[in-house]
Amino acid sequence: MRVVGIIFSVVIGMVSVGFGGGGLKDLPASGKEYDAVTGREIYSNTCIRCHGIDGKGTMGLHLVPKPADLTSPGIQSRLDASLFKRIHDGKPNTAMGAWSTALSDDEIWDVLAYVRTFRQE
Ligand code: HEC
């Protein structure tokens, strides 16, 4: 019942913004969208050699610990901010380096957008 109430008020909110905001300018869908296509390029240049083409990490099997399986629920259930920080700062005592030295923040977000495409349904 509460959920229905929330949905109801969201719908009402959208309707009233839709009708009430008549004087406001239409803007092109803005806001930064992180780009999994750019991310795929970065991934294949920098991450693939350890995490593999499918993200399962099988290419770096000789490493200890071996590269994370990026398709796993354990990784995919983590928040963006947590994964961003990992890619940015690296993981101590593993081969996972701090990519902030090679990639800009935007590039890290792009590559994370690509990593998210490994999520299994
Ligand atoms: C030199 C090999 C190597 C490269 C290159 C590499 N990684 Fe990793 N990565 C690892 C290892 C090793 C781990 C740690 C696995 C563990 O802790 O069990 C890891 C862990 C991770 C994790 C999980 C971190 C966590 O908190 O458990 C993510 C996400 C990740 N890598 C993403 C990336 C991305 C994105 C790139 C490319 C920008 C990349 N990695 C490049 C070796 C690598």
| pLDDT tens, residue by residue, 35-85 | 999 999 999 999 999 999 999 998 767 899 999 999 999 999 999 999 999
Mean pLDDT of 81-110: 97
Q: What is the pLDDT of residue 8?
A: 56
Cβ–ligand 1 distance for 113 under 6 Å, the answer no
- The domain defined by 36-116 folds into Cytochrome Bc1 Complex; Chain D, domain 2 (1.10.760)
**Where in the chain are the domains?**
36-116
Q: What is the pLDDT of residue 73?
A: 96
Cβ–ligand 1 distance for 108 under 6 Å, the answer no
* Two structure tokens written together for 42: 């970065």
At residue 13, does pLDDT exceed 90? no
* Helix 80-89 × helix 105-116 angle, to 10°: 120
- Model-level pTM greater than 0.75? yes
Nearest CA residue ID for atom 5, ligand 1? 47
Cβ–ligand 1 distance for 55 under 6 Å, the answer no
- Probe target for ligand 1 pocket from 40, 49, 62, 91, with the most ligand atoms within 8 Å of CB: 91
Q: What is the pLDDT of residue 19?
A: 52
Measured distance CA(8)–CA(92) in Å, rounded: 47
The full 3-state SS of the chain, as one line of letters, equals CHHHHHHHHHHHHHHHHHHHCCCCCCCCCCCCCCCHHHHHHHHHHHHHHHHCCCCCCHHHCCCCCCCCCCCCHHHHCCCHHHHHHHHHHCCCCCCCCCHHHCCCHHHHHHHHHHHHCCCCC
